[in-house]
Amino acid sequence: MNKDVRICIIGGGPAGLSAGMYLEKKGYFNYEILERLDRVGGKCWSPTYNGRRYEMGAIMGVPSYYAVHDVEEFCGITHDGPKLNRNYKNSRGDVIEPFEPKKNILKIPRLLKMKKQVKKLGEILETKYKGYDVNGHRGVAEGRYEGFSQVNAKRERVEGVNPNLKDLTLPFNEFCKLNGVELIQDIWIGPYTSFGYGYFDEIPAAYVLKYLDFQTCMNFVKINLWTWKEGTQYIWEQLNAHLKNPAVLNSRIEKIERTEDKVYVTVNGEVKEYDKLIVTAPLYIPGTRMDGQKGFVEYCDAREDEKELFSKIDYERYDVLAVETKPEDHPEISYYVFDNMTKERLGHMMVYYRRWKDTKDQVITTYALRKHKDTKEIPYEDCKKTVLEDLKTMHNPASNVINEWSVYYFPHVFSKDYADGWYDKVEAMQDKYNTFYAGEIMSFGDMDETAEYSYELVERFF
Ligand SMILES: Cc1cc2nc3c(=O)[nH]c(=O)nc-3n(C[C@H](O)[C@H](O)[C@H](O)COP(=O)(O)OP(=O)(O)OC[C@H]3O[C@@H](n4cnc5c(N)ncnc54)[C@H](O)[C@@H]3O)c2cc1C
């Protein structure tokens, strides 16, 4: 593509900013990033409290976050945050050790079986499901893989045919049953459901395993994780500061019109002309949201195929509270509450996070889901009340709510649409209307997968 092409990037989160970085690396400098809010980072939001930054959004990474590492190198920063640690509680607030055989004598046979199944999953992912872990979802529904290997930082391009990959379109619980590895769900659920990515009976296995590939899941088990002292938002603030064209904040996009060869974006009352558009903001938002966020199809001249496909996208209603406690009520550590990770306990707190070990004057953040595909959405205020009650049950009552957020989280499609080739249809539309679709929906809702997708998008099309 002509290096002078004028590119408009919608969204100054990890996907949009890293698209800018990768474009620059290839010699494209004529891009502009439009960000709706007065800050960059998107769901990496790290406000300050008592002189330190805490996390309302993304918290951690793993050593295989190659795209995030590209950003760190580009900006000369590193993952210098507090070491994460955690323990487990049941729904009555007792500390438990569910994976410790000595503490669970009766469960020893199950734990041994689970260990065998973890090994088996590791093996079949390498063999039967070869190609499962490339970034993005191209070809999966057709039994193909195509993209950049995530085995090491070189990210070599791989492609091949593997009809078994079609199994990844099944909900994750069915995928596990098919392969005789049902018990591994007890381990995968920790960094999956409690992190707001939904339930295993509703989410296609492709999402679960592309995010929690075998290596990544083991890094969670061993707590081999990255954090950032100034918060994950700092990564993206730094990137923004190092870009030739930092994001234009407070950009209110009113309208987008696309002709044969131009893109006209009306932003804050002014019409701007570009040649190409990269959308990293939500493509479609079912219903209305309290924060007034709208999907791309609502403000652009959406074509029939865009409307049809994007209307299949759902997202998670994931709530975060940041609370203060009295020093004597401060939790020892972060806790997972496995009992609350079932759809029967929707709206309950699944995990709570203590970020700083050396002080008790910092906030604790709590996480809860409010919707399962087959249930009615739990009202926000009801969920908040439940979570505050849960904190009391956990013996860590909140004295004050400092911050709260109900996030547009983890856009995805369900198994039927995934198996019907949703991703291949959308991928075939890339550049059709001088528009490229990127961001979470095209890969997965974590900061590395979205940045990695931007890397691949730039490699493929620019
Ligand atoms: C509570 C929570 C915990 C998380 N934990 C982790 C974690 O530990 N590790 C991890 O890797 N990831 C985590 N994530 C996920 C991670 O933050 C996201 O996947 C990542 O930020 C997605 O990047 P993105 O650029 O695709 O989207 P976003 O971060 O959502 O950025 C999109 C940007 O587009 C902007 N935008 C929206 N609409 C418009 C518009 N109309 N015009 C212009 N701009 C617009 C938004 O304001 C936003 O800045 C977490 C997220 C949350 C909320």
Each residue's pLDDT tens digit, 367-414: 999 999 999 999 999 999 999 999 999 999 999 999 999 999 999 999
Distance CA 311, CA 284 (A): 6
DSSP-assigned letter for residue 31 = E
Residue 183 CA to ligand 1 centre (angstroms): 31
**How many beta carbons lie within 10 A of that of residue 362, not counting itself?**
22
Residue 365 pLDDT > 90: yes
Q: What is the pLDDT of residues 146-166, one digit of tens each?
A: 999 887 888 899 999 999 999
Kindly give the number of the ligand 1 atom that is closest to the alpha carbon of 40.
Answer: 49
Distance CA 54, CA 80 (A): 14
**Cβ(196)–Cβ(130) under 8 Å?**
no
Q: What is the pLDDT of residue 153?
A: 83
Which strand (E) or helix (H) includes residue 405?
strand 400-412
Confidence of residue 289 (pLDDT cuts 50, 70, 90): confident
Domain limits, CATH 1.10.405.20, in the chain: 99-221
Q: What is the mean pLDDT of residues 220-234?
A: 96
Cβ(407) to ligand 1 under 6 A? yes
Cβ(36) to ligand 1 under 6 A? yes
| Burial per residue of 148-176, b for 16 or more beta-carbon CB atoms within 10 angstroms, e otherwise | bbbeeeebeebeeebeebbbbbbbbbbbb
Of 447, 450, 452, the one to substitute when testing ligand 1's pocket (max ligand atoms within 8 A of C-beta) is: 447
| Mean of all residue pLDDT scores within the chain | 96
Query: For the structural domain made of 99-221, what CATH number should be given?
Result: 1.10.405.20
Kindly give the number of the ligand 1 atom that is closest to the alpha carbon of 448.
Answer: 11
Q: What is the mean pLDDT of residues 196-222?
A: 96
Distance CA 119, CA 373 (A): 31
Residue 103 pLDDT > 90: no
Kindly give the number of the ligand 1 atom that is closest to the alpha carbon of 14.
Answer: 25
Domain limits, CATH 3.30.70.1990, in the chain: 316-411
Distance CA 237, CA 358 (A): 26
Residue 101 pLDDT > 90: no
Confidence of residue 432 (pLDDT cuts 50, 70, 90): very high
Domain limits, CATH 3.50.50.60, in the chain: 7-76+228-313+413-461
Instruction: Determine phi and psi for 353, rounding to 5 degrees.
Output: -120, 120
Distance CA 74, CA 236 (A): 11
Of 194, 211, 285, 446, the one to substitute when testing ligand 1's pocket (max ligand atoms within 8 A of C-beta) is: 446
Of 18, 32, 43, 272, the one to substitute when testing ligand 1's pocket (max ligand atoms within 8 A of C-beta) is: 43
Cβ(205) to ligand 1 under 6 A? no
Residue 180 CA to ligand 1 centre (angstroms): 35
List, edge to edge, every strand of the sheet that includes 400-412.
95-96, 86-89, 334-337, 349-354, 364-369, 314-324, 400-412
Residue 200 pLDDT > 90: yes
| Residue bearing the CA closest to ligand 1, atom 28 | 42
Residue 337 CA to ligand 1 centre (angstroms): 25
Residue 42 CA to ligand 1 centre (angstroms): 4
Distance CA 411, CA 314 (A): 6
**Cβ(326)–Cβ(312) under 8 Å?**
no
Spatial CA neighbour of 414 closest among 456, 366, 373: 373
Residue 36 CA to ligand 1 centre (angstroms): 12
Q: What is the pLDDT of residue 241?
A: 98
**Cβ(194)–Cβ(367) under 8 Å?**
yes
Residue 30 pLDDT > 90: yes
Pairing of strands 7-10, 144-148: unpaired
Kindly give the number of the ligand 1 atom that is closest to the alpha carbon of 34.
Answer: 43
**Cβ(316)–Cβ(394) under 8 Å?**
no
Cβ(447) to ligand 1 under 6 A? yes
Q: How much of the chain exceeds pLDDT 90, in percent?
A: 94
Residues in the chain: 462
Q: Report CA 52 to chain centroid distance, whole Å.
A: 24
**Cβ(21)–Cβ(458) under 8 Å?**
no
| Residue bearing the CA closest to ligand 1, atom 23 | 14
Least confident of 90-94, 107-111, 230-234: 107-111
Distance CA 439, CA 155 (A): 19
Spatial CA neighbour of 433 closest among 278, 253, 273: 278
Query: For the structural domain made of 7-76+228-313+413-461, what CATH number should be given?
Result: 3.50.50.60
In words, the CATH class of domain 316-411 is: alpha beta
Cβ(445) to ligand 1 under 6 A? yes
